[in-house]
Amino acid sequence: MAEKIQYTVQMGKEKEIKDASNGEVYDALTSIINEEINLHWHKTNEKYEEIQGKQVYYLSMEFLIGRLLENNLLNFGILDITNEALKKLGFNPEHIYATERDPGLGNGGLGRLAACFLDSLASLHYSGHGYGIRYRYGLFEQRFIHGNQIELPDYWLNDGYAWETRKEEEAVCIHFSGIVHMFKKSDGNLEFKYENTDKVMAVPYDIPIVGFQNKVINTLRLWSAEPFINDDYKGESNRDLDHEHSIEQISGYLYPDDSTYDGKILRLKQQYFLVSSSIQNMIKQFKKTQSLSLIHLPDKVAIQINDTHPSLAIPELMRILMDDQGFGWEQAWNITTKVMAYTNHTTMSEALETWPKEMLKQLLPRIYMIINEINERFCRDIWFNHHKLRELIPDMAIIADERIHMARLSIVGSCSVNGVARIHTEILKNKEMKHFYTVFPDRFNNKTNGISHRRWLLKVNPELANLITEIIGPEWIQRPKQMIGLLKSLKDHSILEKLYAVKQKNKLQLANLIYERTGLLVDHQSVFDVQIKRLHEYKRQLLNVFRIISMYNDLKSNPDLDIVPRTFIFGAKAARSYHLAKEVIKLINKVATMVNYDPDIRGKLKIIFLENYNVSLAEKIIPAADISEQISTASKEASGTGNMKMMMNGALTVGTLDGANIEIMDLVGKENMFIFGLTAEEVIHFYQNGGYNPNDIYNKDDRVRKILDQLHHGEFGTHDIEFKDIYYNLLSHSDPYFVLKDFESFIEIHKLVEQTYRNQWAWQEMSITNIAYSGYFSSDRTIQEYASDIWKIKPV
Ligand SMILES: *Cc1c(COP(=O)(O)O)cnc(C)c1O
């Protein structure tokens, strides 16, 4: 390997290896491995064509794939020899891998899930591929200035991207707007023709998805919008540049709206652009490789839509089947509803997507006609076949109140509707979507999320992976559930000591990173108490910072208080237009400045808010976490996957009974985690009965009153109105996420955390128990469930 790298640098850069920069060595390595990839990529595609099996397409507006070089080396089985070679040549492998840009083509959990699924599909020999958008600018880069979040553009393609291949010959044309003409054909059927449409080219860029040591290379195909080149256009001037610019905007930016906080016509264009190019492409592929009629499409293709963002795939497939392929409505509907499957990611009504009817009608006139017809037929079906639901038609109609309800369209147009954790699916069935569940009881099913144990354990925490292999042998890497074998070491002090040593080493590494990035020294013997996730009211970073303020207040009034030193680590981006979330970021930063430099605290508390939380940063923080804060308002977090990543790396969860936390508890037992707070049932009960009165807590609880008064009097800010919106949201707007209501319980559970941590044997036992059960949360398990229950596919 060393010679190969040396040679490639010499040939490519015309310089000796000793003079090469980290970036140049990175280039050499990617070109070496890309050669290998291309060979197997080609073979994989040939194999798929030869056996003509069923293909799965995962449609998602986001793919948060993270850096690829180290991952690809690992999956090819040459990571260790490459690391050795790099060291021999005088390079630090870490520094080489760190030169890769992190493609920020997603906001958070939903995009990261899509990436883990692709990894599992390839590693388990499934022919499953991703379709997404090649945004020129990924999610903004976050900086803090005076504690405020500043968003910088993330031009991740600046120096090119080594893993993509442009496939111009596979470009397709997308039509927007225009006029639809309807004709009656001689056989009585209708025919539709479009005129004066705005045409946009969709050019695919392919990224290889390397399976784990199995030579399978699947494809992530990302579409880029380009002007439609037509002879008529040549030689025209200014207007054209504007026109080109507006077209390129379609794949210009990822919308930083983790749930809602935005929604413009451009976003709708992006969605249609993704689904139209993807569906056209798969129909072409089907016709090229299969000698069957499109009637058999459901035997050969399954499409999973990741949340409602790609749900226009349903009317788009209808359009192509009817207008281009000549099917009648009934046949087209039969095919479409068998191919499509929908994953729901949220029950929060403000995050359920709807579009103004007029906007969609203007932009996509033919698609609008089809949605209208789907709606008419669905409403008629309820009227005639579900008498008890007649009165509820206005609440169920796809088009209602001048808006198009995308979740309703997705349910009606799919063969499967799944939630992403058991409690979430139950809430869908019994509350949020219960009328639809009455109509389509067989469609609803649960697929609890998962994470790639290859990336989130093998790659990010090699020392822990080695320890696991040392204890139970290497088979868990193929079958992660076998990690359960770790339970035999519960009482083995020599193993528990090793587990402790691995964590300490990871914490020391993170402490170094923190020092490099912030100049702050943290004690790697302190408890690393971690909350990393998008900033959202329902995720309750505010509750966490209130606890920290409370601990600070306690220490100020009693500096000799005997507490276990803690380092609080935060990572979180807020959507640009999400005012309250940005206030919370500023509050954490201000409290950090106050606490970190207060001599009375004597270093017992440190607050570190790392900038620009993304996959690469997560990979550094997670192996070093002692405590995983999963403290959402119960019923609000559909699943969470950060909780799984940290559990798999031996952190103990402090959490509410929400999302997948509940399933973690079912596995490890209540005694192996720290559960607190209102249950989902209690929260829902409060909502149904008009909430609770936070002023009661303000009046009763001295700690809460003190914190709120400090907020109000500007003790954390530079002026007294600085955090007034947080203050009023809690006291006047009745604390919609129950921050004050759960405060006491949160403080109490952390007393138990502290007590437990003082007994390191008990702590390490709990830690190894969590690791042992974490195999269930490998996305391999999730993908196997999708494959057998929804997609009906087998490994190739
Ligand atoms: C896993 C992950 C998430 C999701 O975290 P949650 O705690 O489940 O919200 C978000 N962002 C990144 C970068 C991740 O790796």
**pLDDT digit string, tens, across residues 506-539:** 999 999 999 999 999 999 999 999 999 999 999 9
H helices, E strands: number in the chain: 32, 23
pLDDT of amino acid 246: 86
Q: What is the pLDDT of residue 381?
A: 97
The pLDDT of 423-436, averaged and rounded, is: 96
CA distance 168 to 536: 40
Distance 483 CA to ligand 1 centre (A): 23
Protein residue whose Cα sits closest to atom 2 of ligand 1:
109
**CB of residue 618 inside a 6 A radius of ligand 1:** yes
Other C-beta atoms closer than 10 Å to the C-beta of 186 total: 5
Task: Calculate mean pLDDT across residues 96-110.
Answer: 96
pLDDT band at 377 (very low <50, low <70, confident <90, very high): very high
Q: Is the CB of 640 under 6 A from ligand 1?
A: yes
142 CB less than 6 Å from ligand 1? no
Q: Which of 67, 429, 455, 533 is catalytic?
A: 533
Cα–Cα distance list, 219 to 38, 129, 216, 271, 390 (Å): 11, 5, 10, 20, 45
**Confidence band, pLDDT 50/70/90 cuts, at residue 623:** very high
| 99 catalytic residue (yes or no) | no
Mean model confidence pLDDT for the chain: 95
pLDDT (mean) for 738-760: 98
Instruction: Say yes or no: CB of residue 112 within 6 Å of ligand 1.
Output: yes
The CATH fold assigned to 453-683+752-779 is Rossmann fold (3.40.50)
Pairing of strands 301-306, 128-133: unpaired
Among candidate residues 82, 641, 653, 769, the one labeled active-site is 641
Q: What is the pLDDT of residues 190-243, one digit of tens each?
A: 889 999 999 999 999 999 999 999 999 999 999 999 998 765 555 554 457 778
Q: Report residue 721's pLDDT band, with 50, 70 and 90 as the boundaries.
A: confident
pLDDT for position 126: 98
pLDDT band at residue 173, thresholds of 50, 70 and 90?
A: very high
Q: Which residue's C-alpha comes closest to atom 9 of ligand 1?
A: 533
Instruction: Report pLDDT for 261.
Output: 52
Which range is least confidently modeled, 84-98, 340-354, 633-647, 655-669? 340-354
Residue 614 beta carbon below 6 angstroms from any ligand 1 atom: yes
Predicted confidence band at 265 (pLDDT cuts at 50, 70, 90)?
confident
Residue 574 CA to ligand 1 center (angstroms) comes to 13
- Alpha-carbon distance of 174 to 199, in angstroms, equals 6
Q: What are phi and psi of 401, to 5 degrees?
A: 50, 40
Q: Which atom of ligand 1 is nearest to the CA of 532?
A: 7
Q: How far is the CA of 643 from the centre of ligand 1 (A)?
A: 9
> What band does 345 get if pLDDT is binned at 50, 70 and 90?
very high
- 782 in contact with ligand 1, CB cutoff 6 A: no
CA distances from residue 334 to 57, 185, 227, 415 in whole angstroms, order as listed: 19, 23, 35, 10
Retrieve residue 301's tokens.
């293709």
Active site residue 269: no
User: For residue 72, how far is its CA from the centre of ligand 1 (angstroms)?
Assistant: 21
260 is catalytic: no
Q: Distance from the CA of 715 to the center of ligand 1, in angstroms? A: 32
Helix (H) or strand (E) holding 758: helix 743-758
Residue among 762, 755, 705, 760 nearest 731 (CA): 705
Q: Nearest CA to 450 among 217, 614, 630, 664?
A: 664
623 lines ligand 1 (CB under 6 A): no
Lowest mean pLDDT among 245-254, 423-432, 754-763: 245-254
- Residue located nearest, by CA, to atom 5 of ligand 1: 642
The predicted model gives 11-32 an average pLDDT of 91
Task: Quote the Cα angle for 763-769-773, to 5°.
Answer: 150
pLDDT tens-place string over residues 396-427? 999 999 999 999 999 999 999 999 999 999 99
Ligand 1 site, residue 104, Cβ cutoff 6 A: no
Give span(s): CATH 3.40.50.2000, the chain.
Answer: 453-683+752-779
Residue 64 alpha carbon to ligand 1 centre in Å? 10
Q: Which atom of ligand 1 is nearest to the CA of 615?
A: 13
C-alpha span between 431 and 778 (Å, rounded): 29
Ligand 1 pocket: which of 534, 540, 639 to mutate (most atoms <8 Å of CB)? Answer: 534
Q: Does residue 615 line the site of ligand 1, with CB under 6 A?
A: yes
Q: Which of 533, 609, 618, 419 is nearest to 107 (CA)?
A: 533
User: Does pLDDT of 711 surpass 60?
Assistant: yes
Indicate if 641 belongs to the active site: yes
- pTM, whole model, 2 decimals? 0.97
CA distance 537 to 632: 9
Predicted confidence at residue 243, as pLDDT, reads 81
What pLDDT, on the 0 to 100 scale, is given for residue 258?
54
- Residue 534: active-site member: yes
Residue 505: active-site member: no
The closest-lying atom of ligand 1 relative to the alpha carbon of residue 640 is: 8
Of 67, 254, 532, 611, the one to substitute when testing ligand 1's pocket (max ligand atoms within 8 A of C-beta) is 532
The Å distance, Cα 642 to ligand 1 centre, comes to 5
Annotated catalytic residue, options 136, 221, 345, 424: 345
Write down the pLDDT at residue 687. 93
Ligand 1 center from residue 429 Cα (angstroms): 26
Give 437's Cβ-side CA count (13 Å radius). Answer: 14
pLDDT score of 343: 98
